[in-house]
Amino acid sequence: MSRRDALLLGGLGTAGIVAGGAGLWWTVSSRFSPVAGAEFTEPEALRSSSGRLQVRLEASPGSVRLGGQQASALGYNGGVPGPTLRLRGGDVLAVELVNSMAVPTNLHVHGLHVSPQGNGDNVFVVVQPGHSFSYEYRLPADHPPGVYWYHPHHHGMVADQIFAGLFGAIIVEDPDPVATSRERVMVISDITLDGSGTVADASPMDRMTGREGDLVLVNGQSNPKLSARPGERERWLIVNTCVARYLRLRLDGQQMQLRGMDSGRYPAPGTVDELLLAPGNRADVLVTAAAGDATLRAAYYNRGGMAGMMGPAGPAPNGGQGTADIVLATLSVSGAPAPAPPAVPTQPAPADLRNAVVAAHRQLTFAAGGMGMGMGMMSFTINGREFNASRTDTTAAAQTVEEWTLINPSPMDHPFHLHVWPMQIIEARGTTPDAPLWRDVVNVPANGQVKVRINFKDFAGRSVYHCHILDHEDQGMMGVIEVR
């Protein structure tokens, strides 16, 4: 175990170190063996009441259950994922974050449209070991419903802390919910554990390409089993919390209808055969069950690689499957057919900035190469500069619309995330979407570009934008924006 991991996990696993050289070598070099096939479970749900949700989140190392076995990892309130926070538009979310780790941390509410100032979604806050911080997020009354998530955002340690287990879902409830038989929250993560169940350190190559774990889990489970009756309609709220892994999701033999991604919602759900979630993306999906067994799986997605050094980025998933599909969960549908569900209510048309007055045009170029000043041996930059918290890279006027061209001349994809303010995709892969598409993570393909428009409404203050390959963010591919 590296000194970095020993600090991160607060000394977990040190009992194995004194067991002797031969035993230690076997432990750390052998592979963790998950137990698959348990019944699908979800994290504890904490719900707002009378317009407020007050929670205590303790980030700590501990023994947690991952893949059906005990592992030494990080968790919020002792679990991976942390509790699911359920809110409504107009609510106040108050979080006391307690840091029981040996390294600094903080908290980011990914995708929520809330203030970045003070004790809001302020990624410049640092919560030192043994200390706590009280956050308060006030959601606008018209906040878009859907699935969001929370995770640490202390620069330089984001990938390590999320990879080790610090993440959880946030649900903003629908004021006019769809009639379903059940709703399932699916938090997808990946991790690499050695034979002792301790989180493996990332190699320099992992940090350059973006690490992908050997074990891909749903709510901390390996291939959990779900059951339904024919004709039942379920709502699946899916979060990709992986540090670098893209999830190209398929559910063959079942009908999947996409209601929206991130904070974006379509007026009516559309049938999809597959769904691509970049790291940080979320999806709101309706599944109408048909008799038989089906697997939710992640098909191979080539996100590129560092030119000339390797093939597809990242190690082979699930212990050497390479480009093989990864089975995430199994759905078994049997029994008496359920009554046909009612029609899905039509949603209001999303806002559209295509005809808006544009106050400024900007270009952001993502680059990887050369020797950096940060943790890694390679420089990761936006517009030629590595992240510096004391420098403001972009200044925007409040209540204006800007158009940003995101340029990626590198040989691998970079998913771009802007905090606080969602983005409307104006052009991608040389085409213009037929309808407004809203995202807070936009994938910028290798050797490609994407144009987005942003309405800097409701809030002012300093925040950030960055690549959501979190190893790249930690090594400098992030900038500071101030709206005033």
Question: What order do you get walking across the sheet with 448-455 strand by strand?
Answer: 380-382, 358-368, 401-408, 448-455, 423-428, 437-439
Supply the pLDDT for residue 285. 98
Look at residue 10 in the predicted model and tell me its pLDDT: 58
Q: What is the pLDDT of residue 314?
A: 42
Q: Which two tokens stand for residue 295?
A: 């697997």
Q: Which CATH architecture has domain 182-333?
A: Sandwich (2.60)
Stretch (H or E) spanning 418: strand 414-418
Largest CA distance in the chain: 69
Find out whether 70 and 64 touch, Cβ atoms under 8 Å: yes
Classify residue 344 by its DSSP letter.
Answer: P
**Mean pLDDT (10-residue bins), the chain, 484 residues:** 56 36 45 93 98 98 96 98 98 98 98 98 98 98 97 98 98 95 98 95 94 97 98 98 98 95 95 97 98 96 71 41 86 96 91 97 92 62 98 98 97 97 95 94 97 98 98 97 98
Query: Where is 4: in which H helix or E strand?
Result: helix 3-8
Give the per-residue pLDDT at 30: 73
Architecture of domain 3-172: Sandwich (2.60)
CATH number of 358-483: 2.60.40.420
Whether 355 contacts 313, CB under 8 Å:
no
Predicted confidence at residue 2, as pLDDT, reads 55
Ranges for all domains in the chain classified under CATH 2.60.40.420: 3-172, 182-333, 358-483
Residues in the chain: 484
